[in-house]
A and B are shown apart, each in its own frame.
Chain A
Amino acid sequence: QSALTQPASLSGSPGQSITISCTGTSSDVGGYNYVSWYQQHPGKAPKLMIYDVSHRPSGVSHRFSGSKSGNTASLTISGLQAEDEANYFCISYTTNSTPWVFGGGTKLTVL
């Protein structure tokens, strides 16, 4: 089962905006609006940032937003802050034999 494709690393300066992509196929990202994004700091449990492509759970900053175009979902972080430095993972429902598949993760560095 192939993971969804994310860039291994990205970096940005405080105040900038960055976008993390999550590319799949029509069997997963492209076919369903069940894409979620998680933030994980080292040694901590993941935290849900976006679900159903673009919905923000209560308590998550409005600086985080999600979208989808075709087979690629995206997480955009605006006004980068030092505390945004973390690993970010996407997950999507898939019609393959394993029904949920994570992306490989993106390490975000705030310069």
Chain B
Amino acid sequence: EVQLVESGGGLEQPGRSLRLSCVGSGFTFDDYAMHWVREAPGKGLEWVSFISWTGGSIAYADSVKGRFTISRDNAKNSLYLQMNSLRTEDTALYYCAKDIKLGATRGAFDIWGQGTMVTVSS
């Protein structure tokens, strides 16, 4: 079965850090670009970050640039999101998502995890 499983969410204070993880299975992980997308409570979807299949190309939303770092370990079929200097507005359900396109990105996410909740509050 093709699936993504996120972990690492929780309650953290403003200014602190969290590291999210996402493990893929059922597909050749290192063939695909990966993304993080978040959903704040009662809000819509917000694209957060992208990493290419090799890790050589990375992009961030302006809202997290300079604070979040995306990375991947293809040997472990794993995607990460290091979240520093957390703000209350980072409170959201964070999904990792696989791009549909082999070796490229289309911003088309055909496989999603179940999400991991991050709550930033004092």
- The number of A-B residue pairs with CB atoms under 8 Å apart is 68
Contact (Cβ within 8 A) A98 B47: yes
Contact A89–B109 (Cβ < 8 Å): no
Determine the chain A residues whose CB is within 8 A of the CB of B62 once the complex forms. 1, 97-98
Q: How far apart are the CA atoms of A87 and B60 in the complex, in Å?
A: 25
The secondary-structure label for the interface of chain A is: strand
Distance in Å from the Cβ of A110 to the closest Cβ of chain B?
20
Do B110 and A89 touch (CB < 8 A)?
no
Report whether over half of chain B's contact residues are helix, strand or loop; otherwise say mixed. Answer: strand
Q: How many residues of B contact A (CB 8 A)?
A: 24
Bound-complex Cα distance A47 to B109 (A): 8
- Interface 0/1 of B21-48, CB less than 8 Å to A: 0000000000000010100000011110
Q: Which residues of B contact A (CB under 8 A)?
A: 35, 37, 44-47, 50, 59-63, 65, 95, 100, 106-110, 112-115
Chain A residues close to B by CB (< 8 Å): 1, 3, 34, 36, 38, 40, 45-48, 51-52, 57, 87, 89, 91-93, 97-105
